[in-house]
Each structure stands twice: as structure tokens, then as C-alpha cells.
Structure 1
Amino acid sequence: MSDSTINLVQVRRDLHAIPELALHEVQTQQYLKKTIATFASDFLTIKEVPEVETALLVRLAGMHPQKTIGYRADIDALPIKEETGLPFASKHPGVMHACGHDIHMTVALGILAYFAKNQPKDNLIFIFQPAEESEAGGKRLYEAGALTGDFKPDELYALHDQPALPAGQIATKMGTLFAGTTEIHLQVVGQGGHAAYPQQAKDALLAACSFVNQVQTVVSRNVNPIHGGVVTIGSFHAGTIGNVIAGEAKLAGTIRAFTQTDLELMQKRVRAIAEGIAVACDVQMNLELIQGGYYPVENNPKTTAALMAFMEENPEVDFVEAQPAMTGEDFGFLLQQFPGTMFWLGVGDPEHSLHDARLNPDERAINAGVQAMVAYFNQQMGQ
């Protein structure tokens, strides 16, 4: 069912070799444009977005459109040095498609190639979105007005690859699939001094340690236990030498929850803890909490029920119901604006997780993903 004129495995390997960071996906966008140009379809329109320069939108006009179906693929990579040893490994030092966005783009191109040759009944739009890993590219596109008019979807779909699932398996669930996230950035400003005279200093390191310890109570004593949440501090820098009291400390971390209500509650409690420590330790706590476009990925009941029913009933699809994950995804913001569904696509590398420098997806997943979504879209359009 996929288009035989495009070598999807080669496309994936080409994209894997040229990973680029958020909002710098210039070479990636050029490759996408060049590939899409080969489809040579008279009902295909390409749109660029000046406010989000590396974005690329493609519209296929339907024969007898009743609605517009959207499909989104993220295109950015991560600041990770690749350690796969593959012959098509990253050519860009310190940057890698360790989250599988090369797979995401390739599946989207496969679906697009099919419908560029076989005109759909309804309109289809494909959103090649920059900056999912950081900088909230989905929110940027929406706020730029890119998803309006002929490019406004009535329903919207996207996948995320999952190395823990067998290659080609599809999984999703009703309700929240992924958590919403908020970045924590904290600068503690005290007053340095000699280790022998603590009364003359204001210990920023001690205050920062108190913050790390106390935020661990946010989930255990504020969030309903059946809801779930997490606060993690992953970066802590303070001090210069053992006999000097630190005058400054810097921390970074993340807050994650399955509902926006819980996420906002957790943000409120983290702020309160910082304010209390500032008073107790007589230091300045410069706290910044950044959610941006990283809302919980809440699947729409109607589109998700349709997708799940189709995948469960299709004998050619390996489908399982997913469990919710604390993974963050800026597709959650787009699902606040348009009804739609995100799903996992298994890529069969259980020894390596997402964001692992050794991640090596099984490329057989690509065609399975293309075929499943082509069949689903055809069914949704009554073709």
C-alpha cells in the first residue's frame, strides 16, 4: 500500500545522517522539499512559514472534500553524540536523531507519497514541525497563524516511535497518553564566605539542597496518588572549593503530570517552597518555571475511538492498548486546539531507550506505520 517509487529506508538513513537542533533544521527542510518535489502532483501545495523558518506544510486537495485531516511529524534532533557505529550515522558532531524523528519524518513522507499519487477524497495536510525537543515548535506554528484557512485541520494525528515495542506495533489509549511538562530553572543568590565563619555568609548551597529535598514532597503530599506526577532535579552546580561557602547555586529540573490541573498545582507548590526557603535561609531565590507548549497529550475521544477500533479490527495491524507515560511532547499543545490522536509506533530496540546515543530503530517499522495510516485515512474518508 506504500508508494513503490520512494525508497523509505534510504530516506530515513539520509535524514538520520543530517540531524539538526531546534529551529536550525535548514538542511532537513531542504531535503524534505527536494523529496516532496519528486511527487509531482497537481493537487499538492507546499507552504512555508516566515515566522518559523524551518517549518514545512504540505496540502493535498481532496476530490470531494468534506473535511481536512492533518498529520504532524517533528523534524528536530538532540544534542547527543551518536554511538551507534552505523554507516549512516550522524555527520553533525554532537547531534543525533536519538528520539527517532527521522522515523517520524519518513513515515509521514511515505503516507504523503501514497496520497500524492492516489488523490484523497478529503483534504490532507502534512505538518513537518521544527523544535519539538525544545522551543515549542507546535505552539510557534499555531501562534504564527500557519494552521488556519486551507491549512486548518478538522482532526490531527501524529506518532511517536517506541523502542520498547516490537517493530511495527501500534499502541495508543483513550485519554492522556503523555504527560505535560514544565522546566525548572533556579538561581540561588546568597553571600559567599569562609567555611570557618558561617555566621558571616549566606549559604546558597545549603538553601539549594533544602529546595531539592522539599520539592520531593510536592507529589507525595499534594497530588492525588492515583493521578501520578514527578519532580526531578537533574542539574545542580554550586561552589568552587571545599573551604569556601557558596554564594550562588544553580539548579535545573522538570515537573511532569498527566493533567494540566495537577501540573499547575505542582507549579504552585514549587513556587511556595522556593519562597519559604528564601525567607528561612535569607537568600534570594530566582525561580523560573517554563511550560511553553508542553501540555499533556490528551487524545480526543472521537478520533481515538475511531483509530483504536480500526487498528484492532485490521488483521494486518499489530495493535495493543498503551499505558500512559511521563514522556513530554509538544503535540499536547496542538491537541488543545484541534481534536486528534497521538500513538506509539514500535521500533523494536528494547535494549536502548529514547534519547540513548545507541538507539537503533528497526527500519521494518517504517512501512508498517505507513500502511496502517494509509489504510486508516482511506477508511476515514470512505475510500
Structure 2
Amino acid sequence: MDQNLERFIAIRRDLHQIPEKGFEEYKTQKYLLDYLDELPTERLEIKVWKTGIFVKVKGMNPNKTYGYRADMDGLPMEELTGLAFLSQHKGMMHACGHDFHMAIGLGVLTALVSNPIQDDVVFLFQPAEEGPGGAKPMLESQIFAEWRPDEIVALHIAPEYPVGTIAAKPGLLFANTSELFIDLKGKGGHAAYPHHANDMVVAASQLVSQFQTVISRNVDPLDSAVITIGKITGGFVQNVIAEEARLEGTIRTLSEESMVRVKQRIEAIVKGIEVGFDCSAVIDYGSMYHQVYNDETLTKEFMNFAKDHVEVIECKEAMTGEDFGYIVKEVPGFMFWLGVNSAYGLHHQKLNPDEEAIAVAISLLTSYFSFKSRAN
């Protein structure tokens, strides 16, 4: 595994340098395809889908098909790690570990090509997990229909856990999520004559304050939900009353029912702002991700299996969003956290996962697919 570890660490570092936006992963796709072209072809089938890739590793006598999903895109943020293999794309960074996910996928794929199991394994290299969402359209593609796995697994790096540890839980793992964009339009004017204008900075501020009551007074206290407004823009100079303002945020809930209820309350509050400030408002929910609900039987089986290979922790559900939820809504499967021991967390400009975790994941997943195929 030492030589393989160096190989896939090198792959991870190459991928780390070329992070790209969702559905713009052209260099990433080419890098993956170039690597796949170097492998023996007798057990491989490769199909390109948009900027993603489907790869089938054919088993010796298949009765079932297993799947592994690896997301491909980066995040629009400047990297501050100081690493020798720093992102070459200004304003883009692999700050969510997708470079790890892909390198691990290639490692497992390579192992199964070299030492084939009885069953087929399909690898989904999926674009646009960070937005606008690649899992749902990939799921709806003709290729997925032809190669539909019977079971599927994905992992996500976890900076808070040490290398050699995984964390998972049966049932709900990740929340339902929705983006939130609200555009307000009123009437601008001179700062000295506020009575002749409808100030959208004040309207936006009122919205932020009122949204706090949605969570505290409209969501079951035994449930969990979050509304976060992360960005407000409005106006263009200090002595002019702003005619327009824009709020950008996110909604996260642990139940589908709460997501519906939260949106209903947001819409009611926004209508009140329109009346109260004599303005117009447009709401856009952007990308919406379904909760990741791990198949309970498969997750328990995997956690029991993994105990012989790594330390296993049963974790709590998180407010994290992941479009893998659309896939496990249709196909039995699960996601687990892979410990990578980073001082900085996901989506941080200094995220620096421990690369030793790559070998841990490749070994664990290769053994798991072999185990599943023997048990089948």
C-alpha cells in the first residue's frame, strides 16, 4: 500500500491544484479520463456525462451492482494553506475534500480492476455538488438507468476526526437544505429626505430580525432548523437612500415538514415587508438538497464490518447539506465521515486534511466491496 499511497496522494495533489465550479469541471474530467485510459480496458466501461463520468468495473460473474459516488467540484474561495501544491485557479479551492473523494475513488477502482470481485461496481464522478447540484440530473440520466446500482456508498472527509477513524449513523445523517435569495425594490432618494423614499436597507434589516422568530416560534423545539443570512447588499453611496437590497442565505432543517413550514413563514414575512415598506420582493430558493437518510440495515452492516479495519464512531446527524441525498432517496445506500484530522474545518481557506486518510479509505472500501460480493 505504500507505493499506492504515494500514487494516490500525488493524484490528490494534482486534483487539488485545479478546482473548478459546478458543471465547469473540464480540466478535472480530462485528468480523470487520462488516468482511466492508462488502466487495462478488459474490465472497464467508461461513459462521459456532462462534466462527470460513469465508470463500470465489471465483475467476474456479477449478480449485483454496487456503487461509489465521488463529487468533483471546488468552491469559489481563495486558498490560504500555503501548500506547495496550492490551487492554480485564482479564487477557487478544494475546501470540501472533493479532491480526496476522487483520489479515493480512483484508488478503489484501480484495486478492483487489478483484483476483480464477482460483482460489478459503478463509480459516479459527479459534478456540481456545491451547486447547482449534479446528483439529481445524474440520477435521472439514461446512463444511470442502464447501470443503476443495487446499493451505493459515498464518504465525506471529516476534519474533526483523527485518521483511522470513520463516523456514521443509520437513518438521518445530513439535513434538508435550500439556498435563499431575496431581492427588495423600493424607492431611492436623498439621505436628507427619507420621507420621500422607501429605504430597502431598513427593510432588509427588518427581514433579518423577523426571520429569527421563525426558528424560535414556528419550528417544533424538538425539531431543528436554521435560517442564516450570510450576505446583504444594498445601496451604492453613504448619502443616498438605497432603492434596492439583496439578502443571500441558507435554510436547513432536519425534517422535510419543517422545510415546508419555514418557507411558508418566510414568504408570509416577506409579504408583510412588501406592505409595510411599500416595496416589491422576489424570493428565489436556488439549489435545494434532499436530506441524506442512510439505509439503516446497510449502514449497520457497514459499521460492523468496518470495526475490524478502523475505529468506528456512531455520530449525530448534522445540518450539513449534500445532494447525495437524492441518490439514497432512490437507491439503498449510505454516506460516512472519514477522519482526516485537520485543524481547520470544511469550507475554510486553510483546510489541510491529512493525506494518510486516503490509504485508509481505499483499503476499507476495497475490502468492503469484496466482502459484499462474497456475501452476495
| Bin for the TM-score computed over the shorter chain | over 0.9
Q: Aligned pair 1:306/2:298, yes or no?
A: no
Q: Aligned pair 1:357/2:349, yes or no?
A: yes
Write out aligned runs for 1:106-255 (5 A).
106-149=103-146, 151-255=147-251
Aligned mates of 2:351, 2:5 — CA distance in 1: 28
- Is the 1:193–1:245 Cα contact (8 Å) retained in structure 2? yes
- Output one character per residue of 1:283-322: Cα deviation in whole Å (capped at 9) or x when no partner: 1111112344x1111111122121122123x1x3121111
Aligned mates of 2:232, 2:143 — CA distance in 1: 39
Aligned mates of 2:352, 2:194 — CA distance in 1: 52
One-letter code aligned to 2:132: E
Write out aligned runs for 1:13-92 (5 A).
13-49=13-49, 52=50, 54-92=51-89
Please provide the CA RMSD for this pair.
1.7
One-letter code aligned to 2:94: H
Q: Tell me how far 1:3 sits from its aligned partner.
A: 8.3
Match 1:263 to one of 256, 259, 266: 259
Aligned mates of 1:262, 1:173 — CA distance in 2: 22
Aligned twin of 2:314: 321
Aligned mates of 1:168, 1:260 — CA distance in 2: 34
Structure 1: runs of 5 or more not aligned: none
Aligned mates of 1:264, 1:118 — CA distance in 2: 48
Aligned mates of 2:292, 2:3 — CA distance in 1: 30
Aligned mates of 1:83, 1:196 — CA distance in 2: 43
Report the identity percentage. Answer: 43
One-letter code aligned to 1:289: Y
- Output one character per residue of 1:83-138: Cα deviation in whole Å (capped at 9) or x when no partner: 11111111111211111111000111111011011112111000000111111011
- Is the 1:41–1:117 Cα contact (8 Å) retained in structure 2? no
How many residues matched?
A: 375
Aligned mates of 1:43, 1:370 — CA distance in 2: 19
Aligned mates of 2:191, 2:82 — CA distance in 1: 48
- Is the 2:5–2:358 Cα contact (8 Å) retained in structure 1? no
Q: Relative to structure 1, is the Cα distance of residues 323 and 5 closer, same or farther in structure 2, using a 3 angstrom cutoff?
A: closer
Aligned mates of 2:189, 2:85 — CA distance in 1: 53
- Output one character per residue of 1:158-182: Cα deviation in whole Å (capped at 9) or x when no partner: 0010111102311111111111211
Aligned twin of 2:341: 348
Q: Tell me how far 1:38 sits from its aligned partner.
A: 2.0
Q: Tell me how far 1:360 sits from its aligned partner.
A: 1.0
Q: Relative to structure 1, is the Cα distance of residues 98 and 76 closer, same or farther in structure 2, using a 3 angstrom cutoff?
A: same
Aligned with 1:233: secondary structure? strand
- Is the 2:133–2:287 Cα contact (8 Å) retained in structure 1? no
Aligned mates of 1:380, 1:2 — CA distance in 2: 25
- Output one character per residue of 1:141-167: Cα deviation in whole Å (capped at 9) or x when no partner: 123333112x10111110010111102
- Is the 1:3–1:114 Cα contact (8 Å) retained in structure 2? no
Q: Tell me how far 1:262 sits from its aligned partner.
A: 1.4
Q: Tell me how far 1:342 sits from its aligned partner.
A: 0.5
Q: Relative to structure 1, is the Cα distance of residues 2 and 373 closer, same or farther in structure 2, using a 3 angstrom cutoff?
A: farther
- Is the 1:67–1:154 Cα contact (8 Å) retained in structure 2? yes
One-letter code aligned to 1:370: I
Q: Relative to structure 1, is the Cα distance of residues 254 and 5 closer, same or farther in structure 2, using a 3 angstrom cutoff?
A: closer
Aligned mates of 2:5, 2:313 — CA distance in 1: 31
Q: TM-score, normalised by structure 2?
A: 0.96
One-letter code aligned to 1:176: L
Q: Relative to structure 1, is the Cα distance of residues 93 and 290 closer, same or farther in structure 2, using a 3 angstrom cutoff?
A: closer
Q: Tell me how far 1:2 sits from its aligned partner.
A: 8.9
Q: Relative to structure 1, is the Cα distance of residues 6 and 113 closer, same or farther in structure 2, using a 3 angstrom cutoff?
A: farther
One-letter code aligned to 1:233: I
Aligned mates of 2:53, 2:164 — CA distance in 1: 26
- Is the 1:3–1:110 Cα contact (8 Å) retained in structure 2? no
Match 1:276 to one of 269, 272, 276: 272
Q: Tell me how far 1:6 sits from its aligned partner.
A: 7.6
Q: Tell me how far 1:280 sits from its aligned partner.
A: 1.8
Aligned mates of 2:260, 2:164 — CA distance in 1: 36
- Is the 2:132–2:287 Cα contact (8 Å) retained in structure 1? no
